[in-house]
Amino acid sequence: MMTIMTAVPQGVLYVATGATYVAEAALSLRSLRDVHPVLPCALVTDRPGEAPPGFDVVTSLESPFFDCRDKVRGLMLTPFERTLFMDTDTHVCGPIDDAFPLLDRFELAARHEGGRTAYPSDACPEGFAEYNAGVILYRRSPRVMGFLASWLARYQEQMRGSQPPPHDAPSFRESLWQSDLQIYTLSSEYNFLAWIPQFMPGERQARILHGRRPDFPQVGSWINRCDRPRVFVPSLLFVHEGTLGVLTPRGRRLMRWVTALIRLVEPLVRRSRSPRAIDPYARPPRSTDG
């Protein structure tokens, strides 16, 4: 059942078009409810009649494109004055409500992309790194809504180009650079990219895991098992020839053999894990409704 809410101060937003992504949003919401049972949550979707239980607000997205355009359009439909948007491939494993006070000072916040600048651009300097658009904290204000409209237009322009980017981070980066918004860079604890090696400093805990992993609860428990500095390596394949190759030419040759061996052994080690566990662009799990 859909509940209508107006003038809600703050809450969490998901955008999901297609049954597969709606089902994935339900999994993320379940982890959120384990931590925040009453934090308002909204879903923007093309299938409002099939929205899972637990969402306080369900908003219909008309004429979906089933690509990143739907996400940006959904961000503009937030019912909250202050929104923490999360992609559907996220898992909440710690308190996240302490992020909202950042919007007392800033208009938008996101973390840097794992690859920093994966898509070259002449529209902004190299030193302005890409931001990951999977977790975005923002105000609902005319300035931010104008930015979102600019982001949507830039994404559409890039997709019509000769080399369209694989996702929305390049257009997000360029639009942020061209804007005059007050931006804050989130620490990795609010968007822990679980498909690449990540460092967690001491006395900090991961709050939001991001990626497509069947073992999110175990990853969250491992990352937050202590308050000492620690490193998360999602796959043996991240131990590659560059690890010891900095030593000597012999070390580089040795690591090539080690890397080849790991590629043979890793499927056996990861037998119980999804083969797409470290692929950030893998399709989400199949919907329970088939």
Q: What is the pLDDT of residues 67-115, one digit of tens each?
A: 999 999 999 999 999 999 999 999 999 999 999 999 999 999 999 998 7
pTM for the structure as a whole:
0.82
Residue 234 lies inside a defined structural domain of this protein: no
d(CA 128, CA 111): 12
Closest CA to 47 of 29, 55, 59: 59
Residue 261 lies inside a defined structural domain of this protein: no
Residue 1 lies inside a defined structural domain of this protein: no
Residue 122 is given by DSSP the state S
Residue 81 lies inside a defined structural domain of this protein: yes
3-state secondary structure 45-96: ECCHHHCCCCCCEEEECCCCCCCHHHHHHHHCCCCEEEEEEECCCEEECCCC
Residue 23 lies inside a defined structural domain of this protein: yes
Q: Where in the sequence is the domain holding 130, given as residue range(s)?
A: 8-190
Closest CA to 42 of 5, 77, 12, 71: 12
Residue 208 lies inside a defined structural domain of this protein: no
How many degrees, rounded to 5, is the angle at CA 238 between CA 212 and CA 268? 75
The amino acid occupying position 191 is: N
Can you read off the two tokens belonging to residue 102?
């950042």
Residue 225 lies inside a defined structural domain of this protein: no
Is residue 3 very low, low, confident or very high in pLDDT (cuts 50, 70, 90)?
Answer: very low
Can you read off the two tokens belonging to residue 174?
């360029």
CB 139 within 8 A of CB 101: no
Residue 284 lies inside a defined structural domain of this protein: no
In the Cβ-directed half-sphere of 170, how many Cα atoms lie within 13 Å? 18
Residue 236, pLDDT > 70, answer no
Mean pLDDT for all residues in the chain: 85
For 183, counting Cβ atoms within 10 Å of its Cβ (0-12 exposed, 13-18 middle, 19+ buried), the class is middle
Lowest-pLDDT choice from 17-31, 112-126, 215-229, 248-262: 248-262
Cβ count within 10 A of residue 66: 10
Is residue 167 very low, low, confident or very high in pLDDT (cuts 50, 70, 90)?
Answer: confident
Query: What is the model's pLDDT at position 266?
Result: 63
Q: Which residues of 131-156 are buried (b: 16+ CB within 10 A; e: fewer)?
A: bbbbbbbbbbeeebeebbebbbebbe
Q: Is 101 helix (H, G, I), strand (E, B) or coil?
A: helix
R_g of the chain computed on alpha carbons: 20
The count of structural domains within the chain is 1
Question: Looking at residue 157, which CATH number applies to its domain?
Answer: 3.90.550.10
